Amino acid sequence: MASHIVGYPRMGPKRELKFALESFWDKKSSGEDLQKVAAGLRSSIWKQMADAGIKYIPSNTFSYYDQVLDTTAMLGAVPPRYGWNGGEIGFDTYFSMARGNASVPAMEMTKWFDTNYHFIVPELGPDVRFSYASHKAVDEYKEAKALGVNTVPVLVGPVSYLLLSKPAKGVEKTFSLLSLLPKILPIYKEVISELKAAGASWIQFDEPTLVLDLDAHQLQAFTAAYADLESTLSGLNVLIETYFADLTSGAYKTLIELKGVTAYGLDLVRGTKTIDLIKTNFPKGKFLFAGVVDGRNIWANDLASSLGTLQALEAIVGKGNLVVSTSCSLLHTAVDLVNETKLDDEIKSWLAFAAQKVVEVNALAKALAGQKDEAFFTSNATAQASRKSSPRVTNEAVQKAAAALKGSDHRRATNVSARLDAQQKKLNLPILPTTTIGSFPQTLELRRVRREFKANKISEDDYVKAIKEEIKKVVDLQEELDIDVLVHGEPERNDMVEYFGEQLSGFAFTVNGWVQSYGSRCVKPPIIYGDVSRPKPMTVFWSSTAQSMTSRPMKGMLTGPVTILNWSFVRNDQPRFETCYQIALAIKDEVEDLEKAGINVIQIDEAALREGLPLRKSEHAFYLKWAVHSFRITNCGVKDTTQIHTHMCYSNFNDIIHSIIDMDADVITIENSRSDEKLLSVFREGVKYGAGIGPGVYDIHSPRIPSTEEIADRINKMLAVLETNILWVNPDCGLKTRKYAEVKPALNNMVAAAKLLRTQLASAK
């Protein structure tokens, strides 16, 4: 009975690691305290998998921040600005790279492929002196072994590590990161040798970049790397794990011809076409780790269907050579359905979180070995049938309205230049107008109020009063800081997607369905199980209340349909674009109600638009067409004088800039500062952008407070490539994760920088 888990959630069933990390960062607990919590979580995870009967249990998938940063630490690839002088990398250096510190900024953070998870991007160049500086992989293997669990140590593969890196500041952008392969492989050899000496019999290299569109040179790097490692790997069983998409025929050929490799892990949920490649050619005597249990969603596996797939694969690869696995790490799903006490029994029967997926993997492995649990399979079949036939899944009116969208591209009647003129007459904003992205710090008191209201411990009147007081505090602060376009701070919202999902039909919610986004940041994605509609207005009361407190423009704050889709667990029984169109119609109703209520600036965040971009270029055009169309649907009916903003978070935007322009928003605010202002390069290369744009002027994911001069310098770089009359000044993202002690001086410096530049521009005329 061969079963395998690619990786497992780290935060713990009740976010134990999150709270331990934040306590350590706030200097309320020691590094030893943090390590103790982490060790307890690792121990329980390993024991859980062993008790479930999993044969190949991973180690070194636990991380205090992310697995790529762990690899950077292992290789000693610490940028010089952090002042590391060699030796084993400790928490101070590790977390400075992740979060920055009082004197230096953090490294860039970006999305992990097309997920909502993030990683810290390695900064490399020809002068980096690599050294074996973190023994975490070996230490955790030994830790598990001491508990009686023989694990499969997991390393980010050397080629994927380099392909996910970027040239450090000052290094030519044309520098070949793959040229560093000979410099990092000796450290991988040291790690492998130590793992062998410690008793490891298997090792897993995660090489997810194999699913991307790679050229011949990049594919050759895999061949070269594993040929170089072959002698060191001798005596070990080697698993190369890929996930998130199909392999191209070229990548598949490269994979199965790698030297010294025993097994191949393939995502057969998002990579169903790979099955055709397996049927055509699978190397004799090798193992196939078949990822048939979805690691990216929360729907119960269709066990009968998966068993059929596995039996067909076993006939190809040979009995005993097939291992049942997850499609990818379970990091991307919630931890345990047992902790959900408020989901109704019907919906609960349709779901499987990480703990349940471990059981599914083992049940399939046993069934494949002739030990099928008939009761478990029958219960699963009943749940699958229930979901298909449940009346709560289908709403004919919604389906009819979504179907009627075809045939129109839903553009606003007037071009953006004319709209901006009409809006300026109404809003009368200065040049370089200042604003923030939406949220303000979520204090402990604010969280307590929301929590007590949800638990019916305070009345609705008391809740509304408390939220109004918080909005007034945020409005007064922005007026004191002299910000031009205000926000209400979103005190009524714990999460930008969850808040809207709670008010839309077709959504279900969890109590403890937390998923790690980055570091200690966790989100609780809603579950879209049925057709989506808006029963009543969702934000109009709070936006109108905030606008009544000021004469300055107040932004109505909405989450866009693509972001709601990409940050939810989405139904898998209809195409994603159909669900997205349904959400777009619901948001359209809200936009028009906000306009009727006198809100003249409405922000529809599409933070995750690029995140959903397929990993293969051949699929980009179709996705971008329906994603951009969905955004335009939301605001196609508003007046010219209503200014539509959108916001986008951590991503690489340059390759989709024309789709961003096609969204036809009046103003876009976009992450910029933490990514070395990569965004600006697209404008240097000649792309003309006529709408308002606010590239972020400082990184809100770091506690560091930028000076007025630093922000002014950043604005000047923007003015070198963007017209003065379209540039906005704003932070990178929302401020909910920061403290007021950080937010007030940072925003004060931001406004001061904008005023300084206005004065300089006026005197230059």
Q: Is residue 556 part of a domain?
A: yes
Annotated binding site: 18, 116, 437-439, 490, 521-522, 567, 605, 647, 649, 658, 662, 671, 733
Q: Is residue 219 part of a domain?
A: no
Q: Is residue 755 part of a domain?
A: no
State the residue for tokens 């005993």.
Answer: 320
Structure tokens at 533: 């509609």
Amino acid found at 90: G
Q: What is the pLDDT of residue 226?
A: 98
In which domain, by residue range, is 421 found? 413-696+721-734
How far is Cα of residue 533 from the mean position of the Cα atoms in its chain? 25
Q: Is residue 270 part of a domain?
A: no
The string of DSSP codes covering 553-593 is -BEEEEE-HHHHHHTSEE-SSS-HHHHHHHHHHHHHHHHHH
Q: What is the pLDDT of residue 708?
A: 97
Over range 736-763, report the average pLDDT.
95
26: three-class secondary structure by DSSP = coil
Q: Is residue 452 part of a domain?
A: yes
Strand-strand pairing, 322-326 and 287-293: parallel
How many structural domains are present in the chain?
1
**Banded pLDDT at 610 (limits 50, 70, 90):** confident
- Other Cβ atoms within 10 Å of 573 Cβ, number: 12
Q: Is residue 547 part of a domain?
A: yes
**Banded pLDDT at 676 (limits 50, 70, 90):** low
- Which range has the worst mean pLDDT, 101-105, 129-133, 432-436? 101-105
Over range 677-682, report the average pLDDT.
71
Over range 308-332, report the average pLDDT.
97
Does the pLDDT at position 764 exceed 90? no
Structure tokens at 589: 């109703």
**Banded pLDDT at 102 (limits 50, 70, 90):** confident
Q: What is the pLDDT of residue 686?
A: 72
359: three-class secondary structure by DSSP = helix
Give how far Cα 290 sits from Cα of 275, 600, 649, 693, Å: 10, 53, 34, 46
| Closest by CA position to 305, among listed 264, 275, 330, 284 | 275
Over range 388-403, report the average pLDDT.
94
488 is catalytic: no
Does the pLDDT at position 321 exceed 70? yes
Does the pLDDT at position 681 exceed 80? no
pLDDT tens, position by position, 728-743? 999 999 999 899 999 9
Annotated binding site for 5-methyltetrahydropteroyltri-L-glutamate: 18, 116, 521-522, 567
Q: Which residues pair with 56 in a beta bridge?
A: 4
Look up the CATH number of the domain holding residue 579: 3.20.20.210
Cα-flanking dihedrals φ and ψ of residue 579, to 5°?
-65, -40
Annotated binding site for Zn(2+): 647, 649, 658, 662, 671, 733
Catalytic: which of 118, 488, 629, 701? 701
Does the pLDDT at position 651 exceed 60? no
Q: Is residue 125 part of a domain?
A: no
Q: What is the mean pLDDT of the chain?
A: 94
- Which range has the worst mean pLDDT, 79-83, 267-271, 388-392, 701-705? 701-705
Q: Is residue 47 part of a domain?
A: no
Over range 629-655, report the average pLDDT.
89
709: three-class secondary structure by DSSP = helix
Q: Which residues pair with 166 in a beta bridge?
A: 123
pLDDT tens, position by position, 52-76? 999 999 999 999 999 999 999 999 9
Rounded-to-integer distance, Cα 45 and Cα 358, Å = 11
Residue partners of 507: CB distance under 8 A and separation at least 6: 501, 526, 527, 528, 529, 532, 568
The pTM (predicted TM-score) of the whole model is 0.91
How far is Cα of residue 394 from the mean position of the Cα atoms in its chain? 29
Does the pLDDT at position 520 exceed 90? yes
Annotated binding site for L-methionine: 437-439, 490, 605
CB of 146 closer than 8 Å to CB of 99? no
Over range 632-637, report the average pLDDT.
96
State the residue for tokens 């403890």.
Answer: 512
Does the pLDDT at position 673 exceed 80? no
State the residue for tokens 């410690």.
Answer: 198
CB of 628 closer than 8 Å to CB of 659? yes
Does the pLDDT at position 163 exceed 80? yes
Q: What is the pLDDT of residue 94?
A: 98
Cα-flanking dihedrals φ and ψ of residue 58, to 5°?
-80, 150
